[in-house]
Amino acid sequence: MIWLIGAKGMLASEINTLLTQNSIQWIGTDIEVDITDKNALEEFYEEAFQNKKCEWIINCAAYTAVDKAEDNSSMAQKLNADSLINIAELVKRVGAKLIHFSTDYVFAGNSTVPYIEADKTDPQSIYGKTKLEGELNIINNLHEHYIIRTAWLYGKAGPNFVSTMLRLMNEKDEIKVVNDQIGTPTYAVDLAKAVIKIITSDNKKYGIYHYSNEGTISWYDFACEIYKQGKELDLIKNDCRVLPCDSSQFHQKAKRPSFSLLNKEKIKQTFDLLIPDWKESLSCYLKELI
């Protein structure tokens, strides 16, 4: 039995679909169980599982409003960092294993080569700092964990860069997109498939892993491909020019990593994963919208 925390989110929605398709029993909770309250977690576990064995807890809950976190650091701290002590201690007590998701924002973003899991962390935002503290709270309290850092996540269940671009491209004659932030998108379905591979592999190589789709692009490159494929699929009916610009033209409270490319060799080799190219995954996502 699996407990999926944050079950209504973008990634969790894809995970719960695949759990059901693979006939894996799961229980999902969202804001009705307060992960910042240790007693609330314990009470739900005792009531929901009773004589059932909880083998995995998958935590998809997080404070992900990057700019708002700069002004609401206490809430980001509670959800992204402090709650992980509660979750890790519960996982340890019941003899389960944990999958938790982190972010490229734990790095400074000044590298010139893809980040590996052991690279020095140096978050530049409240969001990144609280996510890193959450990682450390897991590591310091629980051995049986998989922490998956990802980047540029998009999917059907929630607003994301792709859905925003589709809307703007249908509304405007011209949009500007930054071309000085480099990374790779992550299609939520692909990451969810990786999660299923982990929980069905019986592999006990715990630790931190990186996952995103394959490729190296800027947000501008991503937008151009969204426009190209969107026009071909008739999801974009308007003619819109996509223009490059640099980050200085957009005022954002939280500093974004200028380079957030993640090296995926560890997760590919450990779990024998084939990771799709970002264009291929974008095509799958857009076709789901037709």
Q: Chain-centre distance of CA 262, in angstroms? A: 13
Residue with tokens 């990186």: 210
Q: Phi and psi (nearest 5°) for 255? A: -75, 130
Strands 182-183 and 217-218: antiparallel
CB-based burial label for 290 (10 Å; 0-12, 13-18, 19+): exposed
User: From residue 219, how far is each of 210, 213, 226, 254 by CA, in Å?
Assistant: 20, 14, 10, 17
Three-state secondary-structure class, residue 218: strand
Question: Which of 63, 127, 187, 211 does the annotation list as catalytic?
Answer: 127
- Separation of first and last alpha carbons in the chain: 34
Q: Which residues pair with 58 in a beta bridge?
A: 4, 99
Active site residue 211: no
CB-based burial label for 151 (10 Å; 0-12, 13-18, 19+): buried
> CA 155, CA 187: separation in Å to the nearest integer?
6
Positions marked active-site: 127
